[in-house]
Structure 1
Amino acid sequence: MAITLNQIAEICGVSRGTVDRALHNKGNVRPAVAERIKAVANEYGYTPNRAGLALSRASHPIRIGVIIISVQTPFMQIVLDAARREARRLATFSVEVIFRLSPSLDPVEQVSMIEELVEQHHISALAITPLDCLLVETKINELIDQRGIPVVTFNTDLPNIRRLCYVGQENLSSGRTVAELMRLVTRESGTVVTISSSWMYHSAFRERLKGFKEELLTPDSSLQLREVMLPNDDSNVVYEHTLRLLQEIPDLTGIYAITPGYAGVCSALVDSGRARGVHLIMHDEIPANLYELRRGVADFVIGQDAVQQGALPLSLLADYIQLKQQPPKEFYHTDIRVLLRHNIENLL
């Protein structure tokens, strides 16, 4: 049985109220005494009663703001669904989660969302997929430094903000993984094309490409690389550009689809008759991509655990606010899942 507040008080020779104030950082406890109380609590594995905390705070619920970008994409829909499920669970502990969703990559809009959550909804914490620009970075650091609002980033990260932690894939390693797979399947011959839409303000896409190039373009490799940046990830736009590339590059042996728009790449490969001759690797464990794996159009899909990215940031923030539990690590990197048609039967 876990140790109780009364037992900690008896061991430390103080009152139960003193133990409660020390463990929940309520003040009015001498530092040496508070340190002793916390040491005993840690030694005996004391766990605060979240249900009790919820009852005591029912009249003043904790509010966590959540901002998600590119919410129209199938992958981010899975992230959103997981976050909403976690929000329903936390609601039983007097935690209210307020969502703000954007289909765009607009820094001004994101800053406006942050300001609205703070000024109108008085959030206690923020989980965010941040855009990579100085405007957003400055606003988030202002929340942390001036208002004391804890922040967890997920899916994308900003290295220069003072957030609690990051939940998501290590994108440099993800790109390097794709490069290693591409070198194997192409036998390091021909031309490889990377296809992405504009990754301005989106650090994850940029890091994927950087890792891919670092691993692919080694001094001993004979592969040629051509980078294609499209104005957007509309499937029709991606389809037309991919068809053109297939016509222009006769020795095209591999395509790395970095950003959404995967359906356009797959359709172009099928319609051109080159689906069996050009190796395709793309991201995101979504039903449409798994289907392309199964029918042999794609060689590999790189998964990154959308469910964990949606749920864990809220859980970490709730623990930080209610239970005073600092996240034990700065980076919660999700698995880099390499999926191929022989290991996806249970996912379809």
Structure 2
Amino acid sequence: MNITIKEIAKLADVSRGTVDRVIHGRPGVKPDIRKKVLAILKDFNYQPNLAGKALVQSRRNIKIGVVLSPDFNPFVEEMKKGIADEAEKISAFGVELDIEVIRAFDSSEQLAVLETLCEKDVSAIAIVPVDDESIRIRINEIVGGGIPVVTFNSDLPGSRRLCFVGQDNFRAGRTQGALAHILLREISEPKIAIITSTLHLACHKERVDGFQKKLSECTNFQVVACEENFDMDDVAFTLTSKYLETFPDLSLIYLTGGGIAGVARALERKNTGKFVRVLCHDLIPESRQLLYTDRIDAVIGQDPYNQGCLPIRILFDYLFMAKKPTNECIYTNIEIFTSENTSSLNLV
């Protein structure tokens, strides 16, 4: 049977309040007493009574707020599945999620959502943050007020968030740059167009930066355009059509976010007879099908399911067990998919 706080207090010759402060890492305990209590906890392999704590916490109406980016990209739906599955697991402990999806990559809208969550007295927040100083300041204020924050999918450098969960997006961009170099190595001065979801999210800026940095080390390339499509297929279609018209010798299109169906539709409609290479991110149904039919060259996946469930799990552990994440950045894998390793994947 698990040793109780009362028994630990008796063994350490301290009060139960002192033991509780040590367990939850709170101040007000002398170093020698803290060391003594921690040794007893270790000797008895003490594990908090989650069910009992959940009963106490549920009286406080524990809620975790979740702030998602616009869901134009099917990738977001995969993150939602991870969030939903983790929400079901922790519901047994009396925890609810309050999920908010912003309509645009807009800092003022995200600030309003954060204010709404704070007014609802949430105990923690998981957020895909807009990369803006006003968001950074507000998150720091929220953390300073005792509400832990985890960023996911896109980070917010300089904020006091508990940790970041997502891909190392600069390295992912460099990986795409290396793939572009391989694909274009026979072309002396390849022209490349970049379509990025938005430069208001750090993840897309980092992908663009990593991509261009790697290419600058490899070949004499020329980036002829870099524009936002906000994950929208129609905007990606319009931009791709414009690039094909303006740059007849375009060699490659690099898409950092959603919109791959629009890019493919524009290439098919133009049908110049010249093969334009395409690199993109996120293994969604559209990109799987386009890979399988050799319409695009490579996709980098980033495990959206775990990007959804891990932030919720981390915040739950922090709230109920005072367990901090082991690393400041918890990176998901950088997975490269081509037509050679997608034939057996479910294309539904």
TM-score by length of structure 1 reads 0.90
User: Partner of 2:213 in structure 1?
Assistant: 214
Tell me the secondary structure at the aligned position of residue 323 of structure 2.
coil
Partner of 1:310 in structure 2? 308
CA distance in 1, matches of 2:174, 2:60: 47
Match of 1:86 in 2: 86
Q: Which residue of 1 aligns with 2:290?
A: 292
Change (3 A) 1:127 1:245: same
CA contact (8 A) 1:270 1:297 kept: no
SS at match of 1:92: helix
Q: 1 CA distance for matches of 2:137 and 2:37?
A: 38
Output the CA distance in 1 between the equivalents of 2:272 and 2:23. 64
Matched letter for residue 246 of structure 1: L
User: In the alignment, residue 208 of structure 1 is paired with which amino acid?
Assistant: R
Which amino acid counterpart does residue 311 of structure 1 have in structure 2?
A: C
User: Structure 1 counterpart of 2:304, which letter?
Assistant: A
Matched, 1:346 2:345: yes
Give the equivalent residue in structure 1 for 2:60: 60
Identity %: 36
Question: 1 CA distance for matches of 2:248 and 2:181?
Answer: 18
Q: Contact conserved, 1:196 with 1:228, CA < 8 A, in 2?
A: yes
Q: Which moved more, 1:81-90 or 1:322-331?
A: 81-90
Write out aligned runs for 1:110-189 (5 A): 110-119=110-119, 121-145=120-144, 147-189=145-187
CA RMSD of aligned residues (A): 2.5
Moved more, 249-258 or 177-186: 249-258
Deviations 1:247-278 (A, max 9, x none): 33333222111232211111122223368822
- The answer on whether the counterparts of 2:194 and 2:227 sit within 8 Å (CA) in structure 1 is yes
Match for residue 47 of structure 1?
Answer: 47
2:317 corresponding residue in structure 1: 319
Equivalent residues of 2:197, 2:256 under 8 A apart: no
Q: Bigger CA drift: 65-74 or 331-340?
A: 65-74
Cα displacement (A) at 1:230: 4.2
Query: How do residues 192-271 of structure 1 correspond to structure 2 at under 5 angstroms?
Result: 192-197=191-196, 199-218=198-217, 221-230=219-228, 232-271=230-269
The gaps in structure 1 that reach 5 residues or longer are none
> Could you tell me whether the CA contact under 8 Å between 1:107 and 1:131 is conserved in 2?
yes
Q: CA separation in 2, counterparts of 1:298 and 1:43? A: 57
1:104 positional shift: 0.8
Cα separation, partners in 2 of 1:231 and 1:269, compared to 1, 3 Å: closer
Count of residues in Structure 1 that have an aligned counterpart in Structure 2: 345
Change (3 A) 1:230 1:132: closer
Deviation at 1:10, TM superposition (A): 6.5
1:72–1:103: 8 Å Cα contact kept in structure 2?
Answer: no
2-structure distance, mates of 1:269, 1:275: 10
Whole-Å Cα distance in 2 between the matches of residues 138 and 230 of structure 1?
Answer: 26
- Partners in 2 of 1:242 and 1:346 — Cα distance? 28
| 1:11 positional shift | 5.5
TM-score (norm 2): 0.90
Give 1:108's aligned residue.
108
